[in-house]
Amino acid sequence: MTDRFARTDGSTTASCDLGEYCGGTWKGLINKLDYIQNMGFTAVWISPVVKNLDALTADGSSYHGYWAQDIYEVNTNFGSAADLVSLSDALHKRGMYLMVDIVTNHMGYAGCGDCVDYSTFNPFDKKSYYHPFCLIDYNNHTSMELCWEGDNTVSLPDLRTEDTTVQDMWATWIKQLVANYTIDGLRIDSTAEVDKASLKAFESAADIYAIGEVFNNNAD
């Protein structure tokens, strides 16, 4: 988790409210690459890099990176676009790989599910890009694909990933992201909650190594 790993100033004693951003950055991570490589690691997986909800809510802040609002801007709490390029370059100079966390399932909004201002989001800025609001039931697979994660404090508007328009918008973006930052791999969040055909289209557009997250409490 980028925010919790290494600050630019190198401090390990700076005070921090754990519900808020604690100051970890891409520059701080660069400064720790000797440490990481000396443990034998050959790749670094970082938090989602896009601009997130910029508000402190009752659910905390977006330090984790899973409440996206503008996928074409970077999360400046972690640094600049140039800093992210520098991280990618520093890893590749060492023969290491960069894996980036990606969320295609939802966006993030500070407010109730029935009062979302969809114009807040880029590029998915219309209500028609999303499923109607309903809170997810993780015991029902249809609900998992069609309803919303989150709660009514921070709503996570659920994208219609089954729609080809939405798929095409994601494809355009991921091609650009991979090219801009020379990304080697993706960790795709919430893959049990998106349309399965959309995953194939997204992975094809990215054209790099990808793994998907499926969270389930049943180990069997």
Burial code (b: 16+ CB inside 10 Å, e: under 16) for 63-97 equals bbbbbbbbbeebbebbbeeebbebbbebbeeeebb
Peptide bond preceding 132: is omega within 30 degrees of 0, i.e. cis?
no
Q: Which of 145, 184, 189, 195 is flagged as catalytic?
A: 189
Phi, psi of 15 (to 5 degrees): -70, 150
Show Cβ contacts of residue 76 under 8 Å, excluding neighbours closer than 6 positions: 51
Helix axes 164-181, 81-93, angle to 10 degrees: 60
Whether 213 is catalytic: yes
- Give the chain's radius of gyration (CA, Å): 17
Phi/psi region, residue 23 (left: phi>0; alpha: psi -120 to 50; beta: rest), is left
Its sign, for the CA torsion 76, 81, 83, 87, is positive
Q: Which of 54, 59, 162, 213 is flagged as catalytic?
A: 213
Catalytic residues: 189, 213
